[in-house]
């Protein structure tokens, strides 16, 4: 049964109900008490997101300082339920203009009730596209993204759009200047052993799109991925141009992309929603260019001293640079005193996370700054367990660089009025979970 929820609760960290909506009669209104006593107030909290208590099951997620709890008593579709929560939160955020937390909920509770009534019926998720819902669910005090346009008038065909085949775009949009912004955002996930061998490495990328296009445009996106290029050369019976092609392990698309067509023709074609959305996600494991190499040496000198030396090599082009580089090197809890020497950036000891934090604001390519630190430890008596070293973690952003080598080859826009569009493309690579064991 694809039912996702019998009831949904929004609770604050103390367990007070902020919002609740019962969709079905098969769970009681006080089930939230069971959640409070059996999960929130016990060590269970956070050990498993799906729990059965009595005849009911609870799925919960924490988002900022709010617990969202779904209660069911049937064999519900859990995947659907969690995805619904994720999408609903995205929807609320788009309505509130950013934050989703206890205050935002209290301040918009009428709106949330209204939305909850609209996006789920009898436990079945309905249309959750912000673009469409904003056509007919508006609240005073809430800034509408279309505030520049007249929204007071009820849109006559809102209902057709909610249910239409293009349920994510409204008709009759007009822009003076037709523009598309493409952001290719990649996260590099790395797990490196202490000996420097790569245990696991992959890139999860997403293509974010911001469309300001009039009418009902048809878009087609071309990337330098292997399958797409091969298919194209087959169709045009022309050999592929030389150049780097990359192999995507997996791609998933926003619901606006025609999947059947992608499957048969390998082209990404779609009618985009208005404004900002995530067009696609992809994953690559082969041929990842790691932007940084980290070479740590940590020596424990007796029981009260440690010597930490870390060298970080940037291996991208010399003309590029990374921003906001942070390297966190874990040290034992009983760290007492630290002294640093760095060739670039700043380093300090952060006792709250038991880490030496080395920050480099601007990190040019093809350089290798080093940090060395002397760490003094308080000698503790019965230190039974030797210190287990958590991995070094790294954060960074490298603009105009893709770890996968993915490039946008073209973005074609067709609209019956035949206007010209301006396309903007940006690339950025960030650290996902970039861990180096030491």
Partner 1 sequence: MSGHDSKYFSTTKKGEIPELKEELNSQYKDKRKDAVKKVIAAMTVGKDVSSLFTDVVNCMQTENLELKKLVYLYLINYAKSQPDLAILAVNTFVKDSQDPNPLIRALAVRTMGCIRVDKITEYLCDPLQRCLKDDDPYVRKTAAICVAKLYDINAELVEDRGFLESLKDLISDNNPMVVANAVAALAEIQENSNRPIFEITSHTLSKLLTALNECTEWGQVFILDALSRYKAADAREAENIVERVTPRLQHANCAVVLSAVKMILQQMELITSTDVVRNLCKKMAPPLVTLLSAEPEIQYVALRNINLIVQRRPTILAHEIKVFFCKYNDPIYVKMEKLEIMIKLASDRNIDQVLLEFKEYATEVDVDFVRKAVRAIGRCAIKLERAAERCISVLLELIKIKVNYVVQEAIIVIKDIFRRYPNTYESIIATLCESLDTLDEPEAKASMIWIIGEYAERIDNADELLESFLESFPEEPAQVQLQLLTATVKLFLKKPTEGPQQMIQVVLNNATVETDNPDLRDRAYIYWRLLSTDPEAAKDVVLAEKPVISDDSNQLEPTLLDELLANIATLSSVYHKPPEAFITRVKTTTQRTEDEEYAEGSETGYSESHVADGAASPPTSSDNVPYAAARQPGPAATPTQPAPAAPVPDLLGDLIGLDNAIVPVDQPSTPAGPPLPVLLPASTGQGLQISAHLTRRDGQIFYSLLFENNSQIPLDGFMIQFNKNTFGLAAAGPLQVPQLQPGSSATTLLPMVVFQNLSQGPPSSLLQVAVKNNQQPVWYFNDKISLHVFFTEEGRMERASFLETWRSLPDSNEVSRDFPNAVISSVEATLDQLAASNMFFIARRKHANQDVFYFSAKLPKGTPFLIELTTVVGNPGVKSAIKTPNPEMAPLFFESIEALLRV
Burial profile 134-157: b = 16 or more Cβ within 10 angstroms, e = fewer: bbebbeeebeebbeeeeeeeebee
Does residue 380 touch partner 1 according to CB under 8 A? no
Q: Which of 41, 64, 234, 252 binds partner 1 (CB under 8 A)?
A: 252
Does residue 280 touch partner 1 according to CB under 8 A? yes
CB 35 within 8 A of CB 49: no
Q: Which of 64, 159, 343, 417 binds partner 1 (CB under 8 A)?
A: 159
What minimum distance in Å lies between the beta carbon of 303 and partner 1?
16
Does residue 11 touch partner 1 according to CB under 8 A? no
Give the Cα separation of 200 and 179 in Å (integer): 39
Q: Which of 66, 104, 185, 223 binds partner 1 (CB under 8 A)?
A: 104
Q: Which of 183, 218, 265, 278 binds partner 1 (CB under 8 A)?
A: 278
Nearest by Cα to 388 from 338, 331, 436, 434? 331
CB 17 within 8 A of CB 40: no
- Residue with smaller CB distance to partner 1, 49 or 317: 49
CB atoms within 10 A of CB 181: 15
Does residue 266 touch partner 1 according to CB under 8 A? no
Counting beta carbons within 10 angstroms of the beta carbon of residue 213, is it exposed (0 to 12), middle (13 to 18) or buried (19 or more)? buried
> Interface residues for partner 1 in 201-220 (CB under 8 A)?
202, 204
Q: Within 13 Å, how many C-alpha atoms sit on residue 331's CB side?
A: 31
Name the segment binding partner 1 (CB under 8 A); options: 224-232, 237-245, 257-265, 356-364.
257-265
Does residue 262 touch partner 1 according to CB under 8 A? yes
What minimum distance in Å lies between the beta carbon of 275 and partner 1?
17
Does residue 90 touch partner 1 according to CB under 8 A? no
CB 392 within 8 A of CB 195: no
Does residue 287 touch partner 1 according to CB under 8 A? no
What minimum distance in Å lies between the beta carbon of 10 and partner 1?
9
Number of residues that bind partner 1 (CB under 8 A): 115
Rounded (10°) angle between helices 78-96 and 109-119: 140
Sign of CA dihedral 118, 124, 130, 132: negative
- Residue with smaller CB distance to partner 1, 191 or 323: 191
> Interface residues for partner 1 in 314-373 (CB under 8 A)?
none
Does residue 56 touch partner 1 according to CB under 8 A? yes
Q: Which of 52, 64, 341, 350 binds partner 1 (CB under 8 A)?
A: 52
Counting beta carbons within 10 angstroms of the beta carbon of residue 163, is it exposed (0 to 12), middle (13 to 18) or buried (19 or more)? exposed
> Interface residues for partner 1 in 395-434 (CB under 8 A)?
433
CB atoms within 10 A of CB 17: 13
What minimum distance in Å lies between the beta carbon of 438 and partner 1?
11
Q: Which of 210, 226, 231, 254 binds partner 1 (CB under 8 A)?
A: 254
- Residue with smaller CB distance to partner 1, 80 or 408: 80
> Interface residues for partner 1 in 120-139 (CB under 8 A)?
121-122, 124-128, 136, 139
Sign of CA dihedral 281, 285, 291, 295: positive
């Amino acid at each position: 049964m694809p039912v996702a929820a019998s009831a949904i609760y929004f609770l604050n960290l103390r367990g007070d109900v902020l919002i609740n909506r019962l969709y079905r009669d098969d769970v009681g209104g006080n089930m939230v008490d069971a959640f409070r006593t059996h999960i929130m107030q016990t060590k269970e909290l956070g050990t498993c997101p799906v729990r059965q208590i009595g005849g009911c099951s609870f799925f919960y997620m924490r988002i900022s300082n709010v617990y969202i709890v779904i209660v069911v008593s049937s064999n519900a579709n859990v995947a659907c339920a969690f995805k619904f929560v994720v999408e609903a939160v995205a929807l609320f955020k788009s309505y509130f203009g950013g934050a989703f937390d206890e205050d935002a909920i209290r301040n918009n509770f009428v709106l949330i009730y209204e939305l909850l009534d609209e996006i789920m019926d009898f436990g079945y998720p309905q249309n959750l596209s912000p673009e469409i819902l904003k056509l007919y669910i508006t609240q005073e005090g809430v800034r509408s993204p279309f505030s520049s346009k007249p929204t007071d008038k009820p849109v006559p065909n809102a209902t057709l759009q909610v249910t239409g085949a293009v349920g994510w775009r409204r008709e009759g949009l007009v822009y003076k200047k037709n523009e598309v912004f493409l952001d290719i955002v990649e996260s590099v996930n790395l797990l490196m052993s202490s000996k420097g061998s790569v245990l696991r490495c992959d890139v999860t990328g997403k293509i974010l799109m911001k469309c300001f296009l009039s009418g009902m445009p048809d878009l087609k996106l071309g990337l330098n991925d292997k399958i797409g290029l091969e298919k194209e050369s087959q169709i045009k019976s022309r050999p592929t141009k030389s150049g780097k092609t990359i192999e995507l392990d997996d791609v998933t698309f926003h619901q606006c992309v025609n999947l059947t067509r992608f499957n048969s023709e390998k082209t990404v074609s779609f009618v985009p929603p208005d404004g900002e959305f995530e067009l696609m996600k992809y994953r690559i494991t082969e041929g990842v260019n790691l932007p940084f190499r980290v070479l740590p040496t940590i020596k424990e000198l007796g029981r009260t001293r440690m010597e930490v030396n870390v060298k970080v090599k940037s291996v991208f082009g010399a003309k590029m640079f990374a921003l906001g580089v942070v390297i966190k090197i874990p040290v034992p809890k009983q760290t007492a005193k630290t002294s640093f020497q760095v060739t670039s950036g700043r380093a300090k000891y952060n006792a709250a996370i038991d880490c030496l934090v080395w920050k480099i604001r601007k990190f040019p390519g093809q350089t290798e700054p080093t940090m060395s630190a002397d760490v003094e430890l308080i000698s503790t008596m019965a230190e039974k367990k030797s210190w287990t070293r958590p991995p070094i973690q790294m954060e960074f952003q490298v603009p105009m660089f893709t770890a996968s080598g993915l490039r946008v080859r073209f973005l074609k826009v067709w609209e019956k009025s035949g206007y010209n569009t301006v396309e903007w493309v940006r690339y950025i690579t960030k650290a996902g979970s970039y861990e180096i064991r030491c």
